[in-house]
Structure 1
């Protein structure tokens, strides 16, 4: 893969938890989050690849339980894992800071509002910045087909993009529903 010396800047088209497209401004990566089922007992969201030969391929399934409770996550055609097992809270941390083990075997942590310009920050076990999610800058003009929110993934981590998006959506769900 070509190295540009710059992170993936995935524009979140809607900024909503109910579904969106995440498109790199340099068109290197595209992901889609889509609600596929919404019932009183659960809501299911699928993250699809929307680029290259994997276009349309389901990458991750998020199945939330009744009353917006955390449910299960599945990668590809793999088994479902409880979201609380996938995204573990630390014994002394808050629910707004959780860690997970990526498919590369490394540990990553999402934290809420730890820096001034980022709503969410993801770091690795060495505390290096891996990804972040930023809201629209106050005062920035409104644009059609854009929320102004951006998921940034450092250039060395595109292989974890679906995992980063899935774990971020769970973290945002936790905060939105005060879980």
Structure 2
């Protein structure tokens, strides 16, 4: 991928945890969150990179399997094994701040913000901004096909974008369902 010196601005098409697409404003990346199974015992989601791969649906970036009644379940990143979500995202202080170790060996931390435009911020162990998820401001106009929410990922972290999105979805799930 060509380096542009700009973060990826991935517009969240629906803003829903039940399925959406994240499309870069400059068409450099397109990710999809799809519900692939829903029954009384669990709900499964896959994250796919639809950017330029011809068989994107054959190899998901991540698999999320939530338990019954919105309980945390397991997460599988790329070719790794299934890991309990509670072990993958470890609490740091409050339930709205958790850390995880990505496939690059580095530790990252998602934190829920109560002030400012960003609802979620992800930093690395050196406290460097890696990603953030911003909600649409109430005073912004509504547009068809857009939730107004944006996941911003610093360009140098594109290699772990699937893990960043998977961990963000889990964090949003934890916050929404208070688990």
TM bracket, shorter-chain basis: over 0.9
Give a deviation string over 1:32-88, Cα, whole Å, max 9, x none: 000011111100000011111263331110000011000000123431100011101
- Taking structure 1 as the reference length, the TM-score comes to 0.95
The question of whether the paired residues in 2 share the 8 Å contact of 1:114 and 1:121 is answered with: no
Residue number in structure 1 paired with 2:50: 50
Residue number in structure 2 paired with 1:144: 144
Instruction: In structure 2, list runs of 5 or more residues that go unmatched.
Output: none
| Residues in 1 aligned to 2:61 and 2:103: alpha-carbon distance in whole angstroms | 13
Q: How do residues 102-141 of structure 1 correspond to structure 2 at under 5 angstroms?
A: 102-113=102-113, 115-141=115-141
Give a deviation string over 1:98-129, Cα, whole Å, max 9, x none: 00001100000000015511000000000010
Residue number in structure 2 paired with 1:69: 71
- Taking structure 2 as the reference length, the TM-score comes to 0.95
Residue 65 of structure 2 aligns to a residue in which SS?
Answer: strand
Instruction: In structure 1, list runs of 5 or more residues that go unmatched.
Output: none
Aligned positions, number: 177
Q: CA deviation at 1:137?
A: 1.6
Q: CA deviation at 1:143?
A: 0.4
Give a deviation string over 1:128-166, Cα, whole Å, max 9, x none: 100000000221111010000000000111011100000
